[in-house]
Amino acid sequence: MNATPHVLTNLTAATLRQDAGPYGLIEDAAIALEGDTIRWVGPRNALPDDLRAVPPQDLGGRMVTPGLIDCHTHLVHGGNRAAEFEMRLQGATYEQVARAGGGIVSTVSATRGASAAELLDSALRRADALIAEGVTTIEVKSGYGLDVETELRMLRVARDLAVQRPVRVRTSFLGAHAIPPEYKDRADAYIDEVCIPALRASHSEGLVDAVDGFCEGIAFSPEQISRVFDVAGDLGLPVKLHAEQLSNLGGAALAARYGALSADHIEYLDDAGVSAMARAGTVAVLLPGAFYTLRETQVPPVQALRDQGVPIALATDANPGSSPLTSLLLAMNMGCTLFRLTPEEALRGVTLNAARALGLKDTGTIAAGQRADLAVWDIAHPAELAYRMGFNPLHSRIFGGIA
Ligand code: DI6
Ligand code: FE
């Protein structure tokens, strides 16, 4: 491709490159884009001669970061759970609601009853909220169908989001999310008769980038998750897992044994789980929106993750039950205030480490050869992104080189 380069100047670049200083910051920087790729980034006075000849676009001293990445969402679903919110405010716990047939299973009925067009319509509203905050990549899970047909419909709708909007979508198959009412007390049969066939069908339609599961007392055992992960391995798909959210079943260590991209939630993760993740290079995806909504008190072991060099990502977990959150900036703020991440860790968590949690190597930093997915902000310092609540300082977004 011989596209004319596009040169951006009069900006500060928070490149997030790891070999650079805090935030990988470059003051008075220039960024050159060519087609959908970043060709060059560095101090403006070091611009190569051929790029100096191109009339630049002046960004007025603004801050440029990589486009943000929401690496854990359940964006596609029918209905909402405001009634359950009210029940929990009257004292019911998330687990009690789930065991009483509410919770995830009530979203399953609403999702089964929704057409693809209805699912797309409501998911686009939520995707637009993310995109408006500079998000350029969104992960979307299935898991509210729990039958072959509806799991496929959810994944097709997820893929369609990237046709309807300038955003990249990565899909995760989450058939092992909950046990549907027709398989009550027959979780093993559900795995064999529905989950695994739905995974194979979704994969053969090219709808699956990774395989996820919910390993928990109210969901699936480590043994059941293993059976799904074995099939993922046969299909050549990477895995990730909702692990140690409400209790410790050793899910993160199990995921690490399968070389998982990420283990997500992990409030109840122990030292052995942290070590297993460190050895496998599994990313810790922290989801403060769910922690906040469920009024969880056990915080994830952030210091142990740091000490053992486990990369930390942050995401919204956007879902109608435990995290009705569609602001990645607010997730960053919550990551700092509730989990004591630094603002730099929060930004790394929604860029470079979020990319890793999705197995993506071409996004998440500003560097030559990366995709030209950028966010331009009206801020003076990158810490401002995590600092405010309910304020959106996005100036503009560049997706695949296009503003
Ligand atoms: N953990 C979560 O936080 C979401 N799924 C999961 O496995 C919650 C999904 C929901 O409550 O609808
Ligand atoms: Fe989730």
Q: Structure tokens of 156?
A: 């097709």
Look at residue 320 in the predicted model and tell me its pLDDT.
Answer: 97
Partnered with residue 141 across adjacent β-strands are 172
Atom of ligand 1 nearest to the CA of 144: 12
CA distance 245 to 250: 11
DSSP-H helix ranges across 210-311: 222-235, 251-257, 271-280, 288-293, 302-307
Look at residue 99 in the predicted model and tell me its pLDDT.
Answer: 79
Q: Does residue 3 register a pLDDT over 90?
A: no
Mean pLDDT of 297-312: 98
Report CA(163)–ligand 2 centroid distance (Å).
Answer: 24
Under a CB-based contact definition with an 8 Å cutoff, are residues 117 and 311 in contact?
no
Q: What is the pLDDT of residues 237-259, one digit of tens each?
A: 999 999 999 999 999 999 999 99
Look at residue 145 in the predicted model and tell me its pLDDT.
Answer: 98
Q: What is the pLDDT of residues 44-89, one digit of tens each?
A: 999 999 999 999 999 999 999 999 999 999 999 999 999 899 989 9
Q: What is the pLDDT of residues 129-176, one digit of tens each?
A: 999 999 999 999 999 999 999 999 999 999 999 999 999 999 999 999
Under a CB-based contact definition with an 8 Å cutoff, are residues 283 and 313 in contact?
yes
Q: Does residue 343 register a pLDDT over 80?
A: yes
Look at residue 98 in the predicted model and tell me its pLDDT.
Answer: 80
Q: Could you count the other beta carbons within 10 Å of the beta carbon of residue 217?
A: 12
CA distance 174 to 165: 23
Kindly state the DSSP code that residue 49 receives in the 8-state scheme. Answer: H
Q: Cβ neighbours of residue 93 under 8 Å, at least 6 residues apart?
A: none
Q: Does residue 20 register a pLDDT over 90?
A: no
Atom of ligand 1 nearest to the CA of 320: 12
Look at residue 353 in the predicted model and tell me its pLDDT.
Answer: 98
Q: Does residue 91 register a pLDDT over 80?
A: yes
Mean pLDDT of 376-399: 98
Query: Whose C-alpha lies nearest to ligand 1, atom 1?
Result: 242
In the structure, what pLDDT confidence band is assigned to residue 328 with cuts at 50, 70 and 90? very high
Mean pLDDT of 204-208: 98
- Cβ < 6 Å from ligand 1: which residues? 74, 103-104, 107, 177, 214, 242, 245, 290, 317, 319-323
Atom of ligand 1 nearest to the CA of 107: 12
207 φ, ψ to 5°?
-100, 0
Exposed/middle/buried for 140, CB within 10 Å: 0-12, 13-18, 19+? buried
Which residue is it, tokens 């998982």? 260
Query: Whose C-alpha lies nearest to ligand 1, atom 2?
Result: 322
Q: Does residue 333 register a pLDDT over 70?
A: yes
Which residue is it, tokens 């950028």? 374
Q: Does residue 118 register a pLDDT over 80?
A: yes
Mean pLDDT of 9-22: 94
Report CA(402)–ligand 2 centroid distance (Å).
Answer: 31
Report CA(246)–ligand 2 centroid distance (Å).
Answer: 12
| pLDDT averaged over every residue in the chain | 97
Among 72, 74, 75, name the best residue to mutate to test ligand 1's pocket (greatest count of ligand atoms within 8 A of Cβ).
Answer: 74
Query: Whose C-alpha lies nearest to ligand 1, atom 7?
Result: 214
Q: What is the pLDDT of residues 59-71, one digit of tens each?
A: 999 999 999 999 9
Look at residue 2 in the predicted model and tell me its pLDDT.
Answer: 56
CA distance 123 to 79: 11
Q: Could you count the other beta carbons within 10 Å of the beta carbon of residue 98?
A: 23
Under a CB-based contact definition with an 8 Å cutoff, are residues 76 and 123 in contact?
yes
Q: Does residue 102 register a pLDDT over 90?
A: no
Which residue is it, tokens 């008769």? 193
Q: Which of 135, 128, 210, 225 is nearest to 176 (CA)?
A: 225
In the structure, what pLDDT confidence band is assigned to residue 96 with cuts at 50, 70 and 90? confident
